């Protein structure tokens, strides 16, 4: 009886959904302050434009790389004060998920894990450039994922897998 139970336990482990964060790292990082040092002597009235993008690619076996890119352009009046960009990446082990769950995990769940790291890296970079921290608000990646799936469905594009 014990051999049958052990075989069943091993079989369940082989087919049960698995998710594991393997590594988080900065893939790319850049900062430009084209109007410094003159910009520091002006009244500070910033306008912030944030561009957010995610991409994923399968690696060997059941490993996947997810890259979250945050690009920020801050203008003071009409002049660009600074441009900062971070590509925060993660390697995730993901096994035994159906296509819909895999798509959601890669498109929403993983970016949600990466965002706090990207936000902190971007804030640190901006502060080191002698500008006030950005303090970016949390992002609802589930809503963004849903919007993207709806857009792709309306266009007749294949869904992200």
**For the segment 24-81, what is each residue's pLDDT rounded down to a tens digit?**
999 999 999 999 999 999 999 999 999 999 999 999 999 999 999 999 999 999 999 9
Residue 134 has pLDDT above 70, yes or no: yes
| pTM exceeds cut of 0.75 | yes
pLDDT at 45: 93
pLDDT at 2: 57
Domains in the chain, please, with CATH? 17-95+109-138 (3.10.420.10)
Across 67-71, 135-139, 146-150, which has the greatest mean pLDDT? 67-71
More confident residue, 35 or 8: 35
Q: What are the contacts of 25-29 at 24+ separation with CB within 8 A?
A: 25/88, 25/89, 25/90, 26/86, 26/87, 26/88, 26/89, 26/121, 27/67, 27/87, 27/88, 27/89, 28/85, 28/86, 28/87, 29/85, 29/86, 29/87, 29/121, 29/125
20-24 average pLDDT score: 97
Confidence of residue 156 (pLDDT cuts 50, 70, 90): confident
Average pLDDT of the chain, as a whole number: 91
pLDDT at 137: 93
pLDDT at 94: 97
pLDDT at 11: 55
Q: Which of 112, 27, 123 is nearest to 84 (CA)?
A: 123
């Amino acid at each position: 009886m014990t051999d049958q139970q052990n075989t069943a336990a091993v079989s369940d482990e082989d087919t049960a959904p698995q998710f594991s964060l393997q590594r988080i790292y900065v893939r790319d990082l850049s900062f430009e302050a084209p109007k410094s040092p003159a910009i520091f002597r002006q009244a500070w009235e910033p306008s912030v434009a944030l561009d957010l993008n995610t991409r994923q690619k399968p690696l060997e076996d059941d490993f996947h790389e997810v890259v979250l890119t945050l690009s920020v352009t801050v203008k003071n009046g009409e002049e660009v004060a600074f441009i900062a960009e971070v590509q925060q990446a993660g390697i995730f082990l993901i096994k035994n998920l159906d296509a819909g769950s895999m798509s959601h995990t890669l498109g929403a769940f993983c970016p949600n894990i990466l965002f706090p790291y990207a936000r902190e890296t971007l804030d640190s970079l901006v502060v080191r450039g002698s500008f006030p921290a950005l303090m970016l608000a949390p992002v609802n990646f589930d809503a963004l994922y849903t919007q993207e799936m709806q857009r792709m469905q309306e266009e007749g594009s294949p869904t992200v897998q």
